[in-house]
Amino acid sequence: VAVAQTKPKPATKASTAKKTETKGKPAPKTGNTSASFKISGKLEGYANYQIRLYQYQYNQSKFIDSVFTNDTGGFFFNKTLPQTSIIYVQYSSTTAVPLIAENGSDFKLVIHTNLNGLNYDLSGSNTEKSANIYNFLKRFSKLNGELNSFESQIANEQDPMKSYTLQMYAGMKQQEL
């Protein structure tokens, strides 16, 4: 396809007006994207115990800070991150509480360590996304536990009809995930 090109027109006075230099000036920000947040927490049954705070960043955890619980298991973080982030309050090598730290989040967190799995109470302001993550994780863990139970029962079942029935139930549970 051929396109006809026109010759550029000579500059006129209107188009030769002095241009304003913006070199070196930062682009204007469209809003505050930082995330200032607080976590007031209690780790039940653990006095003078180290709690670590991590930020999930690019498929890895970045250490932010650590504190020790007081005599009753209480702890407190007051932090600002450059942006809304997924953070983890870690209290053991294998267990951490995931939270979404947004600007103005004020988490009230009680971690129940005497129960199996990840169990905690979450309240406060600007914590809805974190509560949604917790509800998802609890539901996923429950369904995953049920599937593991079905798999164990199927592996040990001698009666082919009972095994088939268990497989059908397991298939329905898999669809719920």
Nearest Cα neighbor of 51 from 70, 37, 36 is 70
Can you give the pLDDT at residue 75? 96
pTM: 0.63
Can you give the pLDDT at residue 71? 95
The 10s digit of each residue's pLDDT in 71-107 is 999 999 999 998 888 899 998 887 888 899 999 899 9
The 10s digit of each residue's pLDDT in 114-167 is 666 678 888 998 888 888 887 777 777 777 677 777 677 777 778 777 777 777
Can you give the pLDDT at residue 68? 96
The kind and range of the H/E element at 99 are strand 96-101
Nearest Cα neighbor of 98 from 66, 120, 68, 72 is 120
Tracing tokens 């951490």 back to the chain, one arrives at 96
